[in-house]
């Protein structure tokens, strides 16, 4: 008798000796790569000077916190606890943060400390993304899920940052919301 159901190519208990790298798991045209490229070109010294050199665990770099927070906004992940879960579970966040897991209280403190700067960065990023896409684009959709940038360039969720500002905050989030 022939089995009509497809079988998984690998048993989940099977050990993997050499798995795919994180870079291989993220598509070449994924919007996270463009976000990373744009944010890598920024000067973070102003943000870094606001951190103290106190005792305790070393702080997470503000460039990584901003990347995770902005990418979370692009994917409609607004609460600090959901961002924490994403940094632990999602491959795209692993790629963006170099497999660093960030706690929800760290996200909340970051938003409280850098809310104004984060908002300005979001606006600058949205403006720069529009300029990049206008070079060869036929249309730029700010609120939709698709941005068409020419015959071979299709990127999803790239400009969703501006739409996140108008979204109502999730109930019960209190101080975890982005400060204005």
Q: Do the beta carbons of residue 121 and residue 128 sit within 8 Å?
A: no
Q: Return the DSSP state at 20.
A: P
Query: pLDDT tens-digit profile of 158-179?
Result: 444 433 333 444 444 433 333 3
The pair of three-digit structure tokens given for residue 11, joined into one six-digit string: 């048993």
Going from N- to C-terminal start, the domains of the chain cover 22-42+60-170
Most confident of 24-33, 129-138, 169-178: 24-33
pTM: 0.67
Asked if pLDDT for residue 138 goes beyond 60, the answer is no
End-to-end CA distance of the chain: 65
How much of the chain, in percent, has pLDDT values that exceed 90?
A: 36
Report the alpha-carbon distance of residue 114 to residue 117 in Å, rounded: 5
Instruction: Flag the least confident range among 76-90, 130-144, 166-180.
Output: 166-180
In angstroms, the Cα distances linking 11 to 7, 16, 75, 159 are 9, 10, 31, 38
């Amino acid at each position: 008798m022939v089995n009509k159901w497809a079988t998984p190519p690998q048993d989940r208990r099977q050990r993997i000796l050499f798995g795919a790298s994180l870079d291989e798991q993220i598509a070449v045209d994924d919007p996270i790569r463009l976000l990373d490229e744009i944010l890598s070109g920024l000067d973070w010294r102003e943000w870094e000077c606001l951190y103290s050199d106190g005792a305790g665990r070393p702080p997470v770099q503000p460039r990584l916190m901003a990347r995770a927070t902005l990418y979370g906004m692009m994917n409609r992940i607004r609460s600090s606890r959901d961002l924490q879960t994403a940094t632990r579970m999602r491959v795209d966040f692993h790629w963006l943060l170099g497999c660093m897991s960030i706690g929800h209280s760290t996200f909340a403190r970051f938003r409280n400390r850098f809310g104004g700067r984060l908002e300005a960065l979001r606006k600058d990023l949205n403006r720069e993304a529009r300029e990049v896409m206008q070079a060869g684009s036929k249309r730029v959709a700010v609120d939709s899920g698709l941005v068409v940038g020419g015959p071979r360039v299709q990127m999803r969720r790239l400009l969703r940052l501006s739409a996140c500002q108008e979204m109502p905050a999730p109930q019960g989030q209190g101080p975890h919301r982005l400060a204005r």
